[in-house]
Structure 1
Amino acid sequence: MINPYENKNEDEWFDITCNLIKNHPLDMDIMVDTVLETWEDIFNSSFGKNDIKIGVDIFPTPQIMGFLLHELIPINLKAKLSSDDWVKDKEVSEKDLVYRPNLDYSVEIKTSSDKKRIFGNRSYAQKSDNPKKSKTGYFLAVNFEKFNESTNPKIRKISFGWLNHEDWRGQKAQTGQQANLPAIIYETKLLEVYPNNTIK
């Protein structure tokens, strides 16, 4: 993938990201609707013969809620578009949301119960000559409330943009297993599209 920010100043990053998003084959309104509908689907579904419901009978951890979003968003998007262009990943080397006509537009999905930030594992901040999956490209970030913060948790924020491998910072401690993003990245490369659309 060609780095669209290469040799560009930081004050140019925001406009570059806006253009990348506008030219992306996935319409942002459709993407936002899909994420919000998927969140509602999770609470409207029931399990087993006793009709066990999330938010009524069980209150999953953020990791489980994130997993459900991660798995269901690609499936629901494919159904919403009635198209095989967008599909869920099948191989470890694929992004989470695969765009078959042009893999460069495929999207990695990150979810977090943090109010504003997303995180990756330590490998996101480590250079590898043979990574299982590219850490560069389009990202969809979904931030949501936890059950202990609300009895009826909501989606806090949905963001979209392009991240390079070098954008991620690993924890300084040798035992740290997390990678995060500096503030400038949220301001210029991973832009909020819900509830506030910050794209020009």
Structure 2
Amino acid sequence: MSSPYKDKPVEEWSSITNELIAAHPLSENQIVEYCLAAWNDIYCSKIGRHGFKIGEDIFVRPQIIGALLHELIPAEIVANNPKLWQREQRVDDKDIVYVPNNAFSIELKTSSNSSKIFGNRSYAQAPTENKKSKDGYYLTINFEQIKERSDTLPEITIIRFGWLDHTDWTGQAAATGQQAWLSKETYLYKLKTLYSKK
């Protein structure tokens, strides 16, 4: 599928993004609800025979929180829509697969950065055969880190949704560099903020 933004000026990106989101089978409210439910599950769950709780008894690294969100958000969507959605099954699947039409499947990115998300350098490369396409719908989550015991638990700070193409990612130039990032225009016009911490 060719990019819906192909040959379109930046001035038109925002309206294209709104059309893409309106066409998606998950509503904006559903997406926010599922993400916040998954986040709350992390902090209300108990682990092991001692019933340890994250944020009270154990304080894990952001990478672990991101990994948990990567599992729990798809699980939440599937649990609420079991006939329509499934989790990643094959190497070329997106993280959250829409069974009736793969064009609506979603790639999920999380970050403890206050506002930015990052991808592997491969995101900036054209997809190859039998590899997951980096073009399509993206759900991005920014969240607060657990730094120390506190009376208040960390929160999700931003939930964004939209469409990204592999050309939106800029990979590190160095051969050893593994990171890719997005431009300011991409954040502004291709990812819509569905939720922001007040």
TM superposition score normalised by structure 1: 0.93
Question: 2: CA distance between counterparts of 1:102 and 1:129?
Answer: 21
Question: 1: CA distance between counterparts of 2:175 and 2:92?
Answer: 27
- Alignment match, 2:145: 146
- Alignment match, 1:165: 166
Assess, with a 3 A threshold, how the Cα gap between structure 1 residues 40 and 135 changes in structure 2: closer, same or farther.
Answer: same
1:36-47 maps to which residues of 2 (within 5 A)?
A: 36-47=36-47
Unaligned residue ranges in structure 2 (runs of 5+): none
Report % sequence identity.
49
- Alignment match, 1:98: 97
Assess, with a 3 A threshold, how the Cα gap between structure 1 residues 147 and 128 changes in structure 2: closer, same or farther.
Answer: same
Matched, 1:26 2:35: no
Question: How far 1:80 moved relative to its partner?
Answer: 2.4
- SS across alignment from 1:4: coil
Deviations 1:46-89 (A, max 9, x none): 111110111111111111100000111111112223x3201111
Question: How far 1:150 moved relative to its partner?
Answer: 7.8
CA contact (8 A) 2:94 2:107 kept: yes
Question: How far 1:126 moved relative to its partner?
Answer: 2.4
Of 39-48 and 121-130, the range deviating more from structure 2: 121-130
Query: Which structure 1 residue ranges, 4+ long, deviate > 4 Å from structure 2?
Result: none
Assess, with a 3 A threshold, how the Cα gap between structure 1 residues 64 and 12 changes in structure 2: closer, same or farther.
Answer: same
1:1-200 maps to which residues of 2 (within 5 A)?
A: 1-81=1-81, 83-130=82-129, 132-148=131-147, 151=150, 152-195=153-196
> Aligned residues, how many?
195
- SS across alignment from 2:71: helix
Unaligned residue ranges in structure 1 (runs of 5+): none
Of 129-138 and 20-29, the range deviating more from structure 2: 129-138
TM superposition score normalised by structure 2: 0.94
CA contact (8 A) 2:85 2:97 kept: yes
CA contact (8 A) 2:55 2:149 kept: no
